[in-house]
Amino acid sequence: MASTPNTAVLTTTPYRLYDGILAMGLWACLIIGLPGNYLALRYFVISRKRNLSTLLYIIACIIDLFSSVVHLPVAVNLFNDRDGGLLNSTYFCSPWYFLLLTLQLMSMFVAMLLALSRAIVILFPFYRVNRKTVMISVLLMLFYHCFWNTLYLLLAKSTYYHLPSALCYASKPKNGTFYLLYQCNYNFWTILPPLVVTVSLFCSVIKLKRESICITSDTLKKNQRASVTIGYFSVIFLISNSFSFINNTIYIITEEVLVNPGPYNNKFMFFYSWLFSFLYCTVINAALNPILYFWRIKKMRLWALGRLRRVKVRVTKRRNTNGRYLTTNGHDTCVKDSPLSHAETEF
């Protein structure tokens, strides 16, 4: 990247406005994603169902919880003219970079498993996907990515704050062969999941469209609804990670194959492409998922309303030392459990 845009333009009004808008978007994702994924995780954990989809949803919620807060140093940084802040510290930069890499790759892998497992169930109704095998694959993939990312950080010369992208990076390792292998591995696991999800979604939609006319029983309707929910989950994943897929593909072609950083001489690509593909895609995906859960899963909505009403009752009890509170019609009434508290056990 020999001739790149001058970073001095980031201090001008238009770019400070762009950074402010992006920072507010990250804070909005925090406000939505953190409580939303926490409630969704609680619901899936205490649910009596322990099918494969529920287990994968639990893993997805855990990943999304971390993804909802990992962007905080960048959100603060964008409000402060990209001065770096905590990202200037090597002791903070290295673990933060490791965590972000792992979250991004594991989020894609779990989304791929959800779409693929549901597609298998739809296309081959009599075939049972082994839950144990899928869970082992998740653990193996976690260790696999942690191994590669740890090895990369150990062999890298240092980690540093990159002003143009407002992110932390690890410098290029001295061992060129390892660097090439690492790049191939990273690009493979960021390009494969969108491709698998696209094919799985396409096959599932065709099969469901053909069978929708024949579905009469309630059980089949519930299974179809679950399949449609995972279909929406896959669509959100594809929309959120489309820029990551496109940017990685452009990078492979221009930087690794043609050795010509032409597109990255553009100011938008240079200042914002990696911010979007490396961070924003993961964060937006984490914020949209709980919205999908509460929209599609009615029992989760009832359960969440029950939790919120119980919290409201507890707050009122603390304000009234005599154990009584005022109802909306102004009369004293003994504190009772929320009428929706039973939703916790009705899944």
Provide CB contacts within 8 A for 218, sequence distance 6+.
none
If phi over 0 gives left and psi between -120 and 50 gives alpha, with beta otherwise, what is residue 171?
A: beta
Quickly state the pLDDT bin for 217 (edges 50, 70, 90). Answer: low
**DSSP label of 167:** E
Higher-pLDDT residue of 254 and 108 is 108
3-class secondary structure, 68:
coil
pTM over 0.75: yes
Extended beta strands in 143-183, E state = 159-162, 167-170
- pLDDT tens-digit map of 135-189: 999 999 999 999 999 999 999 878 888 888 888 888 888 887 888 888 888 888 8
pLDDT score, position 223: 63
3-class secondary structure, 160:
strand
- pLDDT tens-digit map of 79-111: 888 888 888 888 899 999 999 999 999 999 999
Start-to-end Cα distance in the chain? 55
- Nearest-5° Cα angle at 74, 238 to 154: 85
Closest CA relative to residue 292, chosen from 241, 235, 207: 235
